[in-house]
C-alpha cells in the first residue's frame, strides 16, 4: 500500500460488516487510525446493543492483526449521546478526527400502501438522522479546531444510493432517506468549506446483507474466480481517496461506484424553460408544460421497473 492516509484518524459507521468493514480495512491498510463503529443489529435494525463487543471488535481485531491501529465503538450514532461519543472516541484515543465515513443503515422494505409509520421512522432515523448527528458533532469539532488555529484537512463521505437518486420500488422510506443524504451533503460542503471540511457522497452498488436480500442471485460472487464486480472492496478505494489529503478541492459531489466503474452524478439541472412574464391560466400552464416535456430528456427508470 502507498500510505495515502498515513497519520489520519478516520471514523467509519456501520463498519462491522459489508461496505463499512471494507472501508475500515482499506483505510487501515493505507495507514489510517480507525474508529470502527457498529451497533451489531440485524438487517432490519433489531437486536444488538451498546458496547464494543461483536462485529466492530472483530474488524478491530483484523486491523490490529495486520499491524494497524483501531478501536471499536458500539454506540448508537442516531442518538446525540452516541454521535458525541463517536467523535470523542477518535479524539480521546487518537488525538483528533480527520475523516468521517457515514455508512450505517438497514432496510425495512414495503410497498407504499403497506409501509407503516414505524418502518418509515426507523429507516429515516438510522440513515438520515444517523448521518446528521455524527456530521453535526464532527463539524462542531472541526469548527473549534479551525478557530483555534489548528485547522484540519477534514473529509466527510456520506452514503447515498441509486434508490435515493432514481427511486426504488418497494423502498419509499429508504429512497427518501438516501435522497435526503444527498441534500445534507451539499449543504455540508457549502457550509463547512470555510473550516477546511470537504463533503462528498457515494451511491455504491455491492454485495452486502442489504442487497443480497433485495436482489438475491444477481449479487452472487462469480463461480470459478475472476473479477467479482459486486465485492464491497471495489467501492472502498474511492472512499479512501475521498477521505485523504489527495482529494483536495473535491467537494459537494456525488459518485456512483460499482465494480470497476465510477460515475460523477450531475444531479438536478435546469432543463427546457419558458417564461411569459405573466400569470398563466391552468390550460396555458398545461400546454406550456407539455411543450417543455417534449423537449426534455426522459427520466431514468426507477429501480424495480426495468
In this predicted structure, what is the pLDDT of residue 278?
Answer: 96
pLDDT exceeds 50 at position 115? yes
147 is a catalytic site residue = no
In this predicted structure, what is the pLDDT of residue 219?
Answer: 57
Over residues 265-280, mean pLDDT? 95
pLDDT exceeds 80 at position 212? no
Spatial contact of 153 and 193, defined as CB atoms under 8 Å apart: no
CATH topology of domain 9-265: Rossmann fold (3.40.50)
The residue annotated as part of the active site, out of 85, 129, 141, 161, is: 161
Q: Which residue has the cell 475521498?
A: 242
Cα–Cα distance measured from residue 177 to residue 137, given in angstroms and rounded to the nearest whole number:
20
User: At CA 202, angle to CA 88 and CA 66, rounded to 5?
Assistant: 55
- Domain map of the chain by residue range? 9-265
pTM, two decimal places:
0.90
The residue annotated as part of the active site, out of 174, 244, 247, 303, is: 174
pLDDT in tens, 142-182: 999 999 999 999 999 999 999 999 999 999 999 999 999 99
pLDDT in tens, 38-49: 997 656 545 555
141 is a catalytic site residue = no
C-alpha cell of residue 56 = 466492530
In this predicted structure, what is the pLDDT of residue 40?
Answer: 79
Spatial contact of 267 and 216, defined as CB atoms under 8 Å apart: no
pLDDT exceeds 70 at position 218? no
178 is a catalytic site residue = yes
Amino acid at each position: 500500500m502507498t500510505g495515502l492516509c498515513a497519520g489520519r484518524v478516520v471514523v467509519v459507521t456501520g463498519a462491522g460488516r459489508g461496505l463499512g468493514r471494507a472501508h475500515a480495512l482499506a483505510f487501515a491498510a493505507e495507514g489510517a487510525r480507525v474508529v470502527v463503529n457498529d451497533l451489531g443489529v440485524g438487517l432490519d435494525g433489531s437486536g444488538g446493543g451498546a458496547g464494543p463487543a461483536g462485529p466492530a471488535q472483530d474488524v478491530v481485531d483484523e486491523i490490529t492483526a495486520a499491524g494497524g491501529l483501531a478501536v471499536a465503538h458500539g454506540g448508537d450514532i442516531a442518538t446525540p449521546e452516541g454521535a458525541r461519543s463517536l467523535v470523542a472516541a477518535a479524539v480521546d484515543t487518537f488525538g483528533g478526527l480527520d475523516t468521517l465515513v457515514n455508512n450505517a443503515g438497514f432496510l425495512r422494505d414495503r410497498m407504499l400502501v403497506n409501509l407503516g409509520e414505524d418502518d418509515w421512522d426507523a429507516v429515516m432515523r438510522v440513515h438520515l438522522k444517523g448521518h446528521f448527528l455524527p456530521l453535526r458533532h464532527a463539524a462542531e469539532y472541526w469548527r473549534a479546531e479551525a478557530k483555534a488555529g489548528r485547522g484540519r484537512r477534514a473529509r466527510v463521505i456520506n452514503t447515498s444510493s441509486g434508490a435515493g437518486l432514481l427511486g426504488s420500488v418497494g423502498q419509499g422510506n429508504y429512497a427518501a432517506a438516501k435522497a435526503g443524504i444527498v441534500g445534507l451533503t451539499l449543504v455540508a460542503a457549502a457550509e463547512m468549506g470555510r473550516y477546511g471540511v470537504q463533503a462528498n457522497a457515494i451511491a455504491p452498488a455491492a454485495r452486502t446483507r442489504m442487497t443480497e436480500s433485495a436482489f438475491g442471485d444477481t449479487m452472487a460472487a462469480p463461480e470459478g474466480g475472476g473479477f467479482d464486480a459486486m465485492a464491497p472492496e471495489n467501492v472502498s478505494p474511492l472512499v479512501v481517496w475521498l477521505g485523504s489529503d489527495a482529494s483536495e478541492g473535491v467537494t459537494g459531489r456525488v459518485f456512483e461506484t460499482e465494480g470497476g466503474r465510477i460515475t460523477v452524478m450531475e444531479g438536478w439541472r435546469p432543463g427546457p424553460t419558458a417564461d411569459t412574464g405573466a400569470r398563466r391560466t391552468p390550460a396555458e400552464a398545461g400546454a406550456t408544460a407539455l411543450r417543455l416535456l417534449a423537449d426534455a430528456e426522459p427520466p431514468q427508470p426507477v429501480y424495480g421497473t426495468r
